[in-house]
Structure 1
Amino acid sequence: MKAIVKNIDTGSDVAFDAYHPADEECFGRWLTVLVGPENEEGGHLYQVLACTPEWIQREFLHTGAVWGRHMLIVSRYDQGRIRRELDHYVEGCTGDNFWEIAQKVARIGAWEFEDYQS
């Protein structure tokens, strides 16, 4: 089975395709990424923080430390690059079923079903 990125949302009234930060060299933006089976409707949601090293330094300099889980760190804002990185990672995740794939995608994004127990 194969999964794909079906949608990327900025969590605001500005669509991902229309979003542009004020400073392309220093930005951080949480993205909601919908990932689902290639030939089926729907999918699961993941949160990924797309940001630059400069933004991390500016935001966390006063604390001296920051965890890096669920982050895509890019040198500058490049919408196409962000999309390609997400697509590349997700398309590389394979499994016998979508649940197996979803757990692999959860390594890079905060999954809506993280820690779910049946």
Structure 2
Amino acid sequence: MKAELKSLDLSSSTAFEDYRPENALNFGIYVTATIGPLCETCGDLFQILVCSRIWFNHRTADGLLLDCRRFEFDGPYSYSTVVQKIKDFVADCEGGSWDELAKQLSIKTHWEFESYRM
């Protein structure tokens, strides 16, 4: 089983493709990805921190950020680069079930069901 990125959204009135950080070299935003099985319309929600190395290092040094799951960038912010990096990560995940895929995706994301206990 393979995963597929269905959509990326910000938790604001701004569309993700229209987002421009104030500082293209020092930025951090959370995006919500809908990711599901390849060739299916359904998907689960995954929160993703997209940030620059400068932004991340500043927040971890100050103790403001304790979770290290993220997509980190060294260069200036680029919407197309961010989307491609997330798509590539998702496409590289493979497993025997959706739960296995979701656990792999949770290496860099926060799955909406990761704290559920069956």
Same fold, TM-score > 0.5, yes or no: yes
Unaligned runs of 5+ in 1: none
What is the deviation of 1:60?
Answer: 4.8
- Out of 67-76 and 3-12, give the one that drifted further: 67-76
What SS does the corresponding residue of 2:5 show, helix, strand or coil? Answer: strand
Cα distance change, pair 58–6 in 1 and its aligned pair in 2 (3 A): same
The residue identity in structure 2 corresponding to 1:42 is: C
Q: Deviations over 1:83-110 (max 9, x none)?
A: 1111111111111222221111111101
Q: Structure 1 length normalisation: TM-score?
A: 0.88
The residue identity in structure 2 corresponding to 1:67 is: L
Q: Structure 2 length normalisation: TM-score?
A: 0.88
CA distance, structure 2, for counterparts of residue 59 and residue 103 of structure 1: 26
The reply on whether 1:28 has 2:36 as its aligned counterpart is no
Tell me if the contact between 1:4 and 1:36 (Cα under 8 Å) persists in the aligned partners. yes
The residue identity in structure 1 corresponding to 2:28 is: G
Tell me if the contact between 2:8 and 2:34 (Cα under 8 Å) persists in the aligned partners. yes
Tell me if the contact between 1:2 and 1:38 (Cα under 8 Å) persists in the aligned partners. yes
Task: Report the counterpart of residue 67 of structure 1 in structure 2.
Answer: 66
Task: Report the counterpart of residue 107 of structure 2 in structure 1.
Answer: 107
Structure 2 matches for 1:46-61, cutoff 5 A?
46-61=46-61
Cα distance change, pair 65–22 in 1 and its aligned pair in 2 (3 A): closer
Tell me if the contact between 1:46 and 1:112 (Cα under 8 Å) persists in the aligned partners. yes
Quick one: percent identity of the two aligned structures?
29
Unaligned runs of 5+ in 2: none
Tell me if the contact between 2:59 and 2:65 (Cα under 8 Å) persists in the aligned partners. no
What is the deviation of 1:67?
Answer: 3.4
The residue identity in structure 2 corresponding to 1:7 is: S
CA distance, structure 1, for counterparts of residue 79 and residue 105 of structure 2: 20
What SS does the corresponding residue of 1:30 show, helix, strand or coil? Answer: strand
